[in-house]
Amino acid sequence: MGLFSGLESLGLGKMKGTELYEKDAAKEDVKGANSLEKTQPQKKEEDVLFDKKYECPVCGKEFTSKTIRAGKNKLLSQELDLRAKYDTADAVKYDPVVCYHCGFAALGRFFKPIPSAQEKLVRENICNNFKGLKMPEAEYSYDDAIMRYKLVLATTVVKCGKNSEKAYVCLKMAWAFRGKAESLPADIENRQAVLKELQDAEMECLKNAYEGFNSAFSQESFPMCGMDETTVTYLVAELARRIGKYEEAGRWISQILVSRTASERLKDKAREVKELISKEK
């Protein structure tokens, strides 16, 4: 009879004898295609970067800064303090944008025109003293990124930026120090001493991030640096835990666990933080 018998009456007689499943030869073709995919060269950091053009809001000159191409850097995971990890490039290295002409610096989301009073402060305290910064030809190193974060923080302080903005810069700089520590070569001279220095620098940044967000919470409106109130509440709790302020961390994390607006994903993270607080305490 056959699976397709009877279809002749519907004009589909040619279906008679058609194989239901692909033969091994077809499977081999698929196998070959898969093996070709596996042999494709692995992406390099420079492959996901491009030079984005900017116009400085202070000096008006054009320059370029290396930026990650949209959709080219796959997100792998997220740490408890919201640091994202990617398959190719550490995105935290490319968030600071620095004008190579005058020294004005800001994170990508804040690189835009500023009020004239702030512009004057930047010109007097940054531009008049800036000695220049060379743009690397290829990808940025962590040292490049850390230097840029310091310029961003200096600019933010000089222009009297919001506490949340300063805290956000400190948080991202902490991630840059952490990234550098994770990428330290095993054979580097005095590795333990260098690692300790990086960890201390990260901790200093985290403490300042906590202080800034904690202060901003009662003084600023939301969203804050692109984050809603529940996200900032969670972040303050995790920062408090990381710097050893367990009582404060417990109080902040409790707000997330009883919140009606926090997502289940955020509550899952909050439960993990609460468990760590209990263990470390």
At 39, is the pLDDT very low, low, confident or very high (cuts 50, 70, 90)? low
pLDDT of residue 34 exceeding 70:
no
Q: Give the per-residue pLDDT at 160.
A: 96
pLDDT of residue 100 exceeding 70:
yes
Q: Where are the domains of the chain?
A: 7-38, 46-214, 227-281
pLDDT of residue 119 exceeding 60:
yes
pLDDT of residue 37 exceeding 50:
no
Residue 31: burial class (beta carbons within 10 Å; 0-12, 13-18, 19+): exposed
Distance (Å, whole) CA 268 – CA 274: 10
User: Within 13 Å, how many C-alpha atoms sit on residue 137's CB side?
Assistant: 0
Q: Give the per-residue pLDDT at 7.
A: 46
Q: Give the per-residue pLDDT at 137.
A: 81
Distance (Å, whole) CA 89 – CA 70: 12
Q: Give the per-residue pLDDT at 16.
A: 56
Supply 180's token pair.
């550098």
* pTM for this predicted structure: 0.84
Nearest to 18 by CA among 2, 39, 32, 33: 2
pLDDT of residue 240 exceeding 60:
yes
Nearest to 205 by CA among 176, 179, 230: 176
Residue 80 DSSP class: T
pLDDT of residue 58 exceeding 60:
yes
Q: Give the per-residue pLDDT at 20.
A: 40
Cα angle: 119, vertex 145, 213; to 5 degrees: 65
Q: Is 67 helix (H, G, I), strand (E, B) or coil?
A: strand
130 Rama class: left (phi>0) / alpha (psi -120 to 50) / beta: beta
pLDDT of residue 13 exceeding 60:
no
Q: What is the pLDDT of residues 15-26, one digit of tens each?
A: 555 554 345 544
Cα angle: 228, vertex 233, 234; to 5 degrees: 100
Distance (Å, whole) CA 211 – CA 104: 25
Amino acid 176 reads A
User: How does the average pLDDT of the chain come out, rounded?
Assistant: 89
Distance (Å, whole) CA 202 – CA 200: 5
Q: Give the per-residue pLDDT at 9.
A: 47
